[in-house]
Chains A and B, each alone.
Chain A
Amino acid sequence: MFRVAPPRRPSRLLAAATTLTTPLLPEDFLGLVAPLWSTTALRGRVVAVHPETERAATLRIRPGRGWTGHRAGQYVRIGVDVDGVRQWRTYSLSSPERSAGGTRIGAKSPADHCLSITVQALDGGTVSPHLVHSTPVGTIVHLEAADGDFVLPAQVTTPLLMITAGSGITPVMSMLRTLAQRGPLPDLVLLHSAPSAADVIFRDELRALGAQVRHTGVEGRLDLAELDTLCPDWRDREAYVCGPSGLLDAAEAHWSDRPERLHVERFTPPTRSTGGTGGTVHYGGADPVEVAPDTSLLEAGEAAGVLLPSGCRMGICFGCVLPLRDGQVRDLRTGEVHGEPGDLIQTCISGASGAARLDTTTTRGDS
């Protein structure tokens, strides 16, 4: 129900220490001095914030010991407290791959290295402007293990073509830095688009790498038909594309006869309510239930025969809460539509607002 790292098996020493700290864990006391030390949650400390453009910045983060590293191109989910509320977002890692057992002598574990994410502030966004503009060095952030299959192969044997736009450069930058670390760069064409020169993240590094940078504010958007002139042998290259969904859709159409050559990174945002009352709600694995406007999720579920926890039925006791997996819900008292994946929803005072899915399998509070 919460985004936490998979717990590591507690050692015998830890179990012994827990007899002293019960009902808390040793880490809850150690956290007073060593907040990264945890067996139940992966955390990191922001050690540097480096502005890339007016609205983008790279955050260097020292992860706790649970960090197992990442492969070039992967993303990480990161939780930050904004106005006191934990918000989770996904960002591509821009730092190079540091696989354990590398060629360097005395290779350290991945957790000994900092990771970097590069974030571009979205207008009206909650998390990205906070990360770019108001995250002081020393801030503790919450992390999950790196994930994603938009990755560079361990051995690059074919020529590469990389097409990126805006902040889509970040996973590709991790790939480029990783390649640079491995040795001489392979045959590689990089086409990057940004609205103007001032918006180009990693501008100097891209110039040094010989990237073709297009300023769409002046030259217009890249039409993939231009590839025949920009990169005549594009068909023979392994292509990595990352950017807005319009670019990805165009790339998938352009590579439709050789999809195995194309790798895209597509972030699917969670389902958001478009407003309105009533909707279709999934309760765990049960058949979806049509929830009428102004009917609570608890009543609608019970009427449909779903076994649900309940209590006061007036929003005070928190006995009926269920984790939200997807979609959003409407507070029947205030009309506010809210919900992020993982939120605990008070079903007795929440109604539907479009499609949503609740988890019913979690048993809570068992000690």
Chain B
Amino acid sequence: MTVTLPSGITTTHPVRPPRLRPVPSTPAPEASGLTPAQVEELGRRLDEIRDRILESRGASDAEYIRRIIGIQRKLEIGGRALLFAGVLPPAWLAGTALLSVSKILENMEIGHNVMHGQWDWMRDPKIHSSTWEWDLVSDSKSWKHSHNYMHHTYTNVVGKDRDVGYGILRLSEEQNWSPYYLGNPVYNFLLSLFFQWGVALHDLEVEKVASGEKSKKDVWHQIKGIGRKMRRQFTKDYLVFPALAGPFFLPVLTGNLTANLVRNIWSHAVIFCGHFPDGTVQFTEEQLEGETRGQWYLRQMLGSANLDGGPLFHLMTGNLSFQIEHHLFPDLPSNRYAEIAPQVRALCAEYDLPYTTGNLGTQYGQVLRKINRLALPPKHVRPHEL
């Protein structure tokens, strides 16, 4: 299959072919017209951005995360309290809304980022990657392995990064088509509704058992961990809180259910916009061989996409709207991504690299289109759809 390149981008390589190239079947601009020396220089300049943040990290950052945690806990208390009066429709709506926002903040801006070690430098055992457990059925230990290690190290490497399709969807031409994938749009819809379950199951990496990379015992151990977590989450949201409301248990139950659903749909949308909109590049395993730090940086930049929006929007995405910056520097405090984004974008412009960004509607539309397109076998893809 040949690549259709947008006009203005040359297909002739510089003196030496770059080591990193997009998977040929991906409809993306040529990944890198850079020489190896340029790639390493880019890496050094990104390191400088990182060092500037590390040097200035301090009390105001610590205050930020503590404030967000405080706000989230107050929202949760407020939401759950309002739901006790949930027989009154306005109270149900307000309570469910507060609880939804609280769960989104807890999972995205707090849990995800704390477990990345973004706040470990504070040495506060209450806000630390090794102790944090989040309000989600996925247990932190499994998640940290599949996310921090597998996804962030092998970002967008088809066959290594399990976020490419979550083991359910076809999200790359490199994945062989089978009739099962005709259901791609349906699976995506279901994944969106049950995203926390998708994340938990995705952490199990069950297909690795078949290939012998993982023992059944390990999987069983993990299943037990998820089971414990699941039981606690279920008891809280669907048993104890509704029961406390006595005769008004139903509004509490539906409120909690809705809040979890809202959180699932929102986080699924934001996360899928991080690596699958048009312009993001996927890679093959061969490209990992002998990869330098500069090349790793480049792969992170080309494989990620940002979302445009205001400060509140960025907060509600857990600053994953700065997906490019997050993938370059996964352990820098999330409140600083906004400040380095213009610097990263300027570097991209200087090195003539794409910096993929757009609003949520546009980006998610592109992701859905890709999911629909990949439901069909390659021969059904008509050129104008590329």
Please report A residues at the B interface, Cβ cutoff 8 Å.
1-2, 4, 19-24, 28-29, 32, 41, 81, 83-87, 311-312, 314-319, 321, 333-334, 340, 342-344, 364-367
Interface centre among A4, A81, A87 (most CB of B within 10 A): A81
Shortest beta-carbon distance from B97 to chain A in Å? 20
Cβ-defined contact, B129 with A367, below 8 A: no
Cβ-defined contact, A365 with B77, below 8 A: no
Q: Which B residues from 212 to 241 make CB contacts under 8 A with A?
A: 225, 228-229, 232-233, 235-236, 240-241
3 pairs of A and B residues whose beta carbons are closest in the complex: A84-B62, A23-B133, A365-B141
What are 29 residue pairs bridging A and B, where the CB atoms are less than 8 Å apart in the complex? A1-B130, A2-B123, A2-B125, A2-B128, A20-B236, A32-B74, A81-B59, A83-B59, A84-B59, A84-B62, A86-B122, A86-B123, A86-B124, A311-B145, A311-B149, A314-B293, A317-B148, A318-B120, A318-B129, A318-B148, A319-B145, A321-B130, A343-B123, A365-B140, A365-B144, A366-B141, A367-B139, A367-B140, A367-B141
C-alpha gap A344/B77 in the complex (Å): 33
Q: Does B194 contact A (CB under 8 A)?
A: no
Q: Does B382 contact A (CB under 8 A)?
A: no
Q: Does B331 contact A (CB under 8 A)?
A: yes
With A22-B236, A83-B59, A312-B153 already in contact, 7 other A-B pairs whose C-beta atoms are closer than 8 Å? A2-B128, A29-B76, A84-B62, A85-B123, A319-B149, A343-B123, A365-B140
Shortest beta-carbon distance from A200 to chain B in Å? 33
Cβ-defined contact, A317 with B124, below 8 A: no
Q: B73 touches which one: A32, A316, A319, A333 (CB < 8 A)? A: A32
Shortest beta-carbon distance from A27 to chain B in Å? 9
Shortest beta-carbon distance from B235 to chain A in Å? 6
Q: Does B57 contact A (CB under 8 A)?
A: yes
Q: Does B205 contact A (CB under 8 A)?
A: no
Cβ-defined contact, B140 with A41, below 8 A: no
Cβ-defined contact, B152 with A28, below 8 A: no
With a cutoff of 8 Å between Cβ atoms, the chain A residues found around residue B61 in the complex are 84
With a cutoff of 8 Å between Cβ atoms, the chain A residues found around residue B240 in the complex are 19-20
With a cutoff of 8 Å between Cβ atoms, the chain A residues found around residue B117 in the complex are 318
Q: Does B134 contact A (CB under 8 A)?
A: yes
A-side interface mostly: loop
The closest CB in chain B to the CB of A87 belongs to B123
Q: Does B380 contact A (CB under 8 A)?
A: no
Q: A85 touches which one: B63, B121, B330 (CB < 8 A)? A: B121
Shortest beta-carbon distance from A230 to chain B in Å? 46
With a cutoff of 8 Å between Cβ atoms, the chain B residues found around residue A314 in the complex are 153, 293, 296
Shortest beta-carbon distance from A22 to chain B in Å? 5
Q: Does B116 contact A (CB under 8 A)?
A: yes
C-alpha gap A81/B131 in the complex (Å): 19
Cβ-defined contact, A367 with B153, below 8 A: no
Q: Does B90 contact A (CB under 8 A)?
A: no
Q: Does B58 contact A (CB under 8 A)?
A: yes
Q: Does B70 contact A (CB under 8 A)?
A: yes
Shortest beta-carbon distance from A308 to chain B in Å? 14
Give the size category of B's interface with A: 35 or more
Cβ-defined contact, B59 with A342, below 8 A: no
Shortest beta-carbon distance from B356 to chain A in Å? 21
The closest CB in chain B to the CB of A318 belongs to B117
Q: B57 touches which one: A84, A311, A340, A366 (CB < 8 A)? A: A84
Q: Does B135 contact A (CB under 8 A)?
A: yes
C-alpha gap A86/B228 in the complex (Å): 32
Count A-B contacts at CB 8 Å. 117
Interface string of B42-82 (1 = CB under 8 A from A): 00000100010000011111110000001001101100000
Shortest beta-carbon distance from B170 to chain A in Å? 27
Shortest beta-carbon distance from A6 to chain B in Å? 14
With a cutoff of 8 Å between Cβ atoms, the chain B residues found around residue A19 in the complex are 232, 235-236, 240
With a cutoff of 8 Å between Cβ atoms, the chain A residues found around residue B149 in the complex are 311-312, 317, 319
Q: Does B379 contact A (CB under 8 A)?
A: no
Cβ-defined contact, A317 with B153, below 8 A: yes
With a cutoff of 8 Å between Cβ atoms, the chain A residues found around residue B384 in the complex are none
With a cutoff of 8 Å between Cβ atoms, the chain B residues found around residue A317 in the complex are 144, 148-149, 152-153
Interface string of B297-340 (1 = CB under 8 A from A): 00000000000000000000000000000000011000000000
Q: Does B16 contact A (CB under 8 A)?
A: no
Q: A84 touches which one: B73, B74, B122, B228 (CB < 8 A)? A: B122
With a cutoff of 8 Å between Cβ atoms, the chain A residues found around residue B123 in the complex are 2, 85-87, 340, 342-343
Cβ-defined contact, B58 with A84, below 8 A: yes
The closest CB in chain B to the CB of A25 belongs to B126
Cβ-defined contact, A316 with B235, below 8 A: no
Q: A41 touches which one: B62, B120, B125, B145 (CB < 8 A)? A: B125
C-alpha gap A84/B333 in the complex (Å): 12
Shortest beta-carbon distance from B360 to chain A in Å? 26
With a cutoff of 8 Å between Cβ atoms, the chain A residues found around residue B148 in the complex are 311-312, 316-319
Q: Contacts A84-B57, A344-B120 hold; do A29 and B73 have CB atoms under 8 A apart? A: yes
Interface centre among B122, B125, B131, B235 (most CB of A within 10 A): B125
Cβ-defined contact, B58 with A28, below 8 A: no
With a cutoff of 8 Å between Cβ atoms, the chain A residues found around residue B125 in the complex are 2, 4, 41
C-alpha gap A328/B231 in the complex (Å): 42
Shortest beta-carbon distance from B48 to chain A in Å? 11
With a cutoff of 8 Å between Cβ atoms, the chain A residues found around residue B133 in the complex are 23-24, 367
Shortest beta-carbon distance from B201 to chain A in Å? 17
Shortest beta-carbon distance from B289 to chain A in Å? 15
C-alpha gap A132/B331 in the complex (Å): 33
With a cutoff of 8 Å between Cβ atoms, the chain B residues found around residue A344 in the complex are 120, 128, 130
C-alpha gap A32/B78 in the complex (Å): 13
The closest CB in chain A to the CB of B296 belongs to A314
C-alpha gap A4/B124 in the complex (Å): 10
C-alpha gap A158/B331 in the complex (Å): 60
Cβ-defined contact, B144 with A319, below 8 A: yes
Q: A367 touches which one: B47, B145, B225 (CB < 8 A)? A: B225
Shortest beta-carbon distance from B381 to chain A in Å? 35
Cβ-defined contact, A334 with B145, below 8 A: no
Cβ-defined contact, B58 with A83, below 8 A: yes
The closest CB in chain B to the CB of A312 belongs to B153
Cβ-defined contact, A81 with B74, below 8 A: no
